[in-house]
Structure 1
Amino acid sequence: MPKIPVIAIVDDDPSIREALDDLVLSCGYESRLFASAEAFLADADRARIDCMLVDVRMPGLTGIELQAALNAQTAPKPPMIFMTSYRDERTKAAAMDGGAFAFLGKPVDFNQLVHCLEQALRH
């Protein structure tokens, strides 16, 4: 039986986490919800994550800082799809230079997000 992909959703907004959780589940994937970058980094079961949906601006560590922390580790990193209401080019460049799979603006177009997720999981 094929493994069901596990998608980490890292966003400080509970309504966004819930909406993304519903979307991920409707695609047939499993989701893991994290209210902060720190909560994700503290998770002992991170190796099971196949892709990440990450907010850029969060209290504490930002999504870009989370990406840098993961890039500093030797463990394999799942593809990261960033989502943000703040679409400045410097942040987008930092995310993409750090290896982001995609950088999407909020409100996120769910069709575009599903397409990105499917591509990232094939990557």
Structure 2
Amino acid sequence: MHPATASSTGSRAAREPRVAYIVDDDELVRSALGSLLRSIDLEVRAFDSTEAFLAAPRADGPSCLVLDVRLRGQSGLALQQSLLQLGRPPIPIIFMTGHGDIAMTVKAMKAGAVDFLSKPFRDQDMIDAVTAALDSDARRADAERKLLALRSCWNSLTPRERAVTQHVAAGLMNKQIADRLGIAEITAKIHRGQAMRKMNSRSVAELVRKMEALGVVQEPHFA
């Protein structure tokens, strides 16, 4: 990735608000939690039901969900399963409950919950859990943006440039690549250089790492 691209990515991440969603049917809990999380400069969006949360738009920046297990209507655990089935972008979930048990905790954690806090909990425990969840979501979103940019770079390669990179990844030199593809050595060198430039790679090792990240490294087919 060019420095300018990396810089703009970092600037965008810095501008994006960090959002904590709260789903709890107790108004006092929503109010107290909202005040606590706003005190650490988070944007807070609170809902009294899972249905209201699902109907609301998702923020673009890092976010997490502080979710009560026992709710009127759909339970918190059921919402967790619904989010998985809907295929929405993953959101770190911090469960809270006054009636938790080991089986419930295990089920939530196996489904991807990042923490499970029993009421009453210390304010600092909630702050720590939410901060860790938001940091995790920011890293996930950044990794997805980088992979999307990398995919765009790969898609910009011509079929011949992709063929050359497959041979480069296999460890072949320009002369060997030229022989395999039935082209002049200088042509193989040009395609290789163009591919390296489009993939923003300064070395073969960097190019191969990016190809591996995209899952496009494969054994070249030798006719």
Query: So what's the TM-score if we normalise by structure 2?
Result: 0.53
User: Take 2:42 and 2:52, find their aligned partners in 1: how far apart are those partners?
Assistant: 21
User: Take 2:15 and 2:128, find their aligned partners in 1: how far apart are those partners?
Assistant: 20
Paired position in structure 1 for 2:10: none
User: Take 1:108 and 1:72, find their aligned partners in 2: how far apart are those partners?
Assistant: 30
Paired position in structure 1 for 2:58: 46
Cα deviation, residue 2, structure 1:
2.5
Cα deviation, residue 94, structure 1:
1.1
Paired position in structure 1 for 2:91: 78
Show structure 1 runs of 5+ residues with no match.
Answer: none
- Ranked by relative contact order (alpha carbons within 8 Å, sequence separation 6 or more), the top structure is 1
AA aligned to 1:46 is R
Paired position in structure 2 for 1:9: 22
CA offsets per residue over residues 42-97 of structure 1, 9 Å max, x none? 22x12447100000000100000000000112221210000000121111111101
User: Take 1:108 and 1:4, find their aligned partners in 2: how far apart are those partners?
Assistant: 26
Identity %: 39
- State how many pairs are aligned: 122
User: Take 2:59 and 2:127, find their aligned partners in 1: how far apart are those partners?
Assistant: 22
The 5 A counterparts of 1:10-29 are 10-29=23-42
CA contact (8 A) 2:19 2:59 kept: no
CA contact (8 A) 1:4 1:29 kept: yes
User: Take 1:85 and 1:33, find their aligned partners in 2: how far apart are those partners?
Assistant: 19
User: Take 1:56 and 1:87, find their aligned partners in 2: how far apart are those partners?
Assistant: 8
User: Take 1:116 and 1:69, find their aligned partners in 2: how far apart are those partners?
Assistant: 22
Paired position in structure 2 for 1:113: 126
Paired position in structure 2 for 1:31: 44
User: Take 1:42 and 1:112, find their aligned partners in 2: how far apart are those partners?
Assistant: 29
User: Take 1:38 and 1:108, find their aligned partners in 2: how far apart are those partners?
Assistant: 26
Query: So what's the TM-score if we normalise by structure 1?
Result: 0.94
User: Take 1:77 and 1:35, find their aligned partners in 2: how far apart are those partners?
Assistant: 21
Larger Rg: 2
Of Structure 1 and Structure 2, the greater strand share is in: 1
Of Structure 1 and Structure 2, the greater helix share is in: 2
Alignment RMSD (CA, Å): 1.2
